């Protein structure tokens, strides 16, 4: 079973994602921000990271930079909410430049979420959950 580290500052979002990924056969670990995610990465080895971009404290872009440097073999999916005119598309482009292989706009479609995780895992050579 593949494990996904879900990083989002909104507990309800983490819960919804955990349920979707659980039904798809993935185990999950959760973090409320990038700093907590980095602590978890030091002690656990998830196969993929699904991170929100905009969070208080250590945000998703900072987390992506650290992942690229310290854990380059981890599959990464970035997500963000808001309308494209508010700069969210630019945020996703920056996330891609920082190493995210898959990008999602909130609200996230359940099927698209599972597809994105599987595609990210395939890109780094892992078999899907």
Percent of the chain whose pLDDT exceeds 90? 65
Q: How confident is the model at residue 83 (pLDDT cuts 50, 70, 90)?
A: very low
Residue 128 lies in a domain: no
pLDDT at residue 106, rounded to an integer: 86
Number of domains within the chain: 1
In a domain, 129, yes or no: no
Domain containing residue 8: CATH number:
3.40.50.2300
Question: Does 34 map to a domain?
Answer: yes
Sequential DSSP letters for the chain = --EEEEE-S-HHHHHHHHHHHHHTT-EEEEESSHHHHHHHHHH---SEEEEES--SSS-HHHHHHHHHHH-TTSEEEEEE-S-GGGTHHHHHHHHHHTT-SEEEESSPPHHHHHHHHHHHHHHTTPPP-
Instruction: Flag whether 106 is in a domain.
Output: yes
Is pTM beyond 0.85 here? yes
- Asked whether residue 49 is domain-assigned, the answer is yes
Longest CA span, the chain: 39
**For 103-128, how does the pLDDT look when each residue is reduced to its tens digit (9 = 90+)?**
898 889 999 999 999 999 998 876 44
Lowest mean pLDDT among 24-33, 43-52, 81-90, 93-102: 81-90
Please report whether residue 10 resides in a domain. yes
Range of the domain at 94: 3-123
């Amino acid at each position: 079973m593949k494990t996904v580290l879900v990083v989002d500052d909104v507990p309800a979002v983490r819960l919804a994602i955990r349920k979707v990924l659980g039904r798809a056969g993935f185990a999950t670990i959760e973090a409320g921000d990038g700093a907590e995610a980095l602590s978890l990465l030091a002690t656990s080895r998830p196969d993929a990271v699904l991170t929100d971009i905009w969070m208080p404290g250590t945000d998703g872009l900072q987390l992506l930079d650290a992942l690229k440097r310290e854990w380059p073999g981890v599959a990464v999916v970035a997500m963000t909410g808001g309308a494209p005119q508010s700069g969210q598309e630019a945020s996703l482009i920056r996330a891609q430049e920082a190493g995210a292989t898959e990008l999602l706009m909130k609200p996230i479609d359940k099927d698209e979420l599972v597809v994105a995780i599987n595609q990210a895992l395939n890109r780094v050579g892992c078999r899907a959950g």
